[in-house]
Amino acid sequence: MPEPVNLWPLTLSAFTAVTAMGVGFAPLRAALHERRTGLQPCTMEGMPENIWIGRVPGLEEVELPADLAGFACRNNRLAELALSTDGFAAAVQAARERHGAERVAVVLGTSTAGIEQTEQAWRRREPAGGAMPADFDYARTQDLQALPRYVRARLGLRGPAIAVSTACTSGARAMMEAAALIAAGVVDAAVAGGVDTLCRMTLHGFAALELLSRGGPTRPCAADRDGISIGEGAGLVLLQRPAEAPPGAPLLLGAGASSDGHHMSSPHPEGLGAVTAMRAALEAAGLAPDAIDYVNLHGTGTRANDAMEDRAVHHLFRDRVPCSSTKGWTGHTLGASGAIEAVIAALCLEEGLVPGCLGATATDPGFRSAVARDNRSLPGMRRVLSNSFGFGGSNCALLIGGPA
């Protein structure tokens, strides 16, 4: 086994995203510039009333390869869409040929995996005894491990396949864990990120917590914000060492994580865990706070989360660094959000763009960080810090940088 190497930096040799704006980063880029949300009123049957969601159109019609048809569920169909766009599968194939199939890992985050498939099967259960339908395959659909197993098989890989489920930090934490595998010499490259899809359990669960925005899309950081809009999406990256990546690829400069354990579903009000994760990401990259050009906030649109994050960001950056949440475009994609927002960070670097919070006609007057309401051009942008926070006190920060 090769000797361990320094953990940072790594290169995002390839990346892609599927969101409510469309398939691939081209529609995502266009929507960011045009300030066009992907959120729409929810028309799914049996869901909470008067909510908006971010739904990927046409997902139900996506077909998996015939030899992998047993993995068919909404979550794996979304993964298939991501694999099939932006040249992602071809980039992984090149890495596989370079390193060997057993030397490429798959590390993916998700919060609910294919539970929507179980919801469908439950409605079709045998009336007399309640048995689930014979065609229901738990291991290849609902199980958390179904997602990395499908992606590994689809890409012809034989390295580790790992599922990460740390609530809304899953996609970001998967990238961090993939980086650790490369640094330890276990693999030479990794497919990392997150995939999460809409389902009844998620929407009704957040409704029960009284966290959903009602009557309109989520408005992160706004004075009148009233909650989350749930979305679905996939964000995938191919991580490699810089010497093995194409020129001009963005870098994962560092990452940091913490667990404050303040409350199962509420963040520490002063953001102590968030500060710890951001500071750890900066230290991993060997950078000071003044080296950051833009902070992509977790920014869910709830009263407590946004207020906590404002305090945490101000603690490190004061009002010097522009910050905003992009969940007004995508909705909160839960276990995929950290990975999707890492892709958004890479796009912001490429475009020199700070995407101002959608719907925030007036920001919370109590906020002290430099929240951007409108898009602004920032030529020469070099580094973006992207935050993810989750239930149970899980915190993760990724530091994305321009090419070396």
Is 373 exposed, middle or buried (CB count within 10 Å of its CB: 0-12, 13-18, 19+)?
A: middle
Q: What's the rounded Cα separation, in Å, for the pair 292 and 225? A: 27
Token readout for 60 is 């139900």
Residues 323, 332, 348, 396: which is the catalytic one? 332
User: For this structure, is 168 an active site residue?
Assistant: yes
Do the beta carbons of residue 331 and residue 54 sit within 8 Å?
Answer: yes
User: For this structure, is 315 an active site residue?
Assistant: no
Residues 298, 315, 357, 396: which is the catalytic one? 298
HEC secondary structure over the chain:
CCCCCCCCCEEEEEEEEEECCEECHHHHHHHHHHCCCCCEECCCCCCCCCCEEECCCCHHHCCCCHHHHHHCCHHHHHHHHHHCCCCHHHHHHHHHHHHCHHHEEEEEECCCCCHHHHHHHHHCCCCCCCCCCCCCCCCCCCCCCHHHHHHHHHHCCCCCEEEECCHHHHHHHHHHHHHHHHHCCCCCEEEEEEEECCCHHHHHHHHHCCCECCCCCCCCCECCCCCECEECEEEEEEEECHHHCCCCCCEEEEEEEEECCCCCCCCCCCCHHHHHHHHHHHHHHCCCHHHCCEEECCCCCCHHHHHHHHHHHHHHHCCCCEEECCHHHHCECHHHHHHHHHHHHHHHHHHCEECCCCCCCCECCCCCCEECCCCEECCCCCEEEEEEEEHHHEEEEEEEECCC
| Residues in Cβ contact with 400 at an 8 Å cutoff, skipping those fewer than 6 apart | 12, 250, 251, 252, 253, 342, 345, 346, 349, 383, 384, 385, 386
User: For this structure, is 348 an active site residue?
Assistant: no
Residues 42, 73, 168, 348: which is the catalytic one? 168
- The residues annotated with a catalytic role in the active site are 168, 298, 332
